[in-house]
Chain A
Amino acid sequence: EDKVVQSPLSLVVHEGDTVTLNCSYEVTNFRSLLWYKQEKKAPTFLFMLTSSGIEKKSGRLSSILDKKELFSILNITATQTGDSAIYLCAVGTNYGGSQGNLIFGKGTKLSVKP
């Protein structure tokens, strides 16, 4: 059975700290790994990773994928209270040769204290 496991499930840090969120997966027909940020409403897209070892970066956020060890990390440096959210990891699969579905982890709830 395909699965995506995120850790930790929740995390409390103080402003200025650096955090690392983990995502491991076991899926057949891996296509991509995506990170989303969910605040009060809909998830918003952060990164999509398809190749091992290539870091994607956006401001204070960065992410990397290891397809051999089947995991990804999301780093946030110099955290701010606005980074408080649930961070979702999802794995995209191939499905019968065409684009398939996303399998989501349960998310990591990050709380950044002032």
Chain B
Amino acid sequence: NAGVTQTPKFRILKIGQSMTLQCAQDMNHNYMYWYRQDPGMGLKLIYYSVGAGITDKGEVPNGYNVSRSTTEDFPLRLELAAPSQTSVYFCASSPGTVNNEQFFGPGTRLTVL
């Protein structure tokens, strides 16, 4: 199993550009999450999904959108990039049973200039 994969690893955007961060998992997990991590801060939840077709906002959803058309994929969309979105983005998945353990992807480092 590849686990949780994310692409790209790095990206530089100009203000106002848009892009999609890709996330896929091959563990058949129902639950998937997007976090951002700023320097010196913990992980903050952007959006999450409890299954295909179901998404919900986390703590910091503004400026982002998600979709969950399949169990495997959970892309994160930035429509109008802003410098405040410069961060490291992690995707995670979990089985969605009594176990809260989340498995993380390698992260995408995004810089908005």
- Interface residue B96 (Cβ < 8 Å from any Cβ of A): yes
Bound together, the chains give a CA A90 to CA B33 distance in angstroms of: 14
Asked if A68 CB lies within 8 Å of chain B CBs, one says no
Contacts of B101 in A (CB 8 A): 34, 45, 48
Bound-state CA distance A31–B102 (Å) is: 14
Question: Which of the four size classes fits the interface of chain A?
Answer: 20 to 34
Query: Which of B41, B90, B102, B107 has the largest number of chain A CB atoms within 10 A?
Result: B102
Minimal beta-carbon separation of A36 from chain B (angstroms): 8
* Nearest opposing residue in chain A for B96, CB measure: A99
A101 at the interface (CB under 8 A from B): yes
Considering the chains assembled together, what is the distance between the CA atoms of A92 and B98 in angstroms? 10
Output the nearest chain B residue to A109 by Cβ-Cβ distance: B40
Check if A101 sits within 8 Å of B97, measured CB to CB. Answer: no
Min CB distance A23 to B, Å, is 11
Asked if A8 CB lies within 8 Å of chain B CBs, one says no
Q: Are B42's CB and A106's CB within 8 A?
A: yes
Are B43 and A99 interface neighbours, CB within 8 A?
no
Is B74 in the interface zone, CB < 8 Å from A?
Answer: no
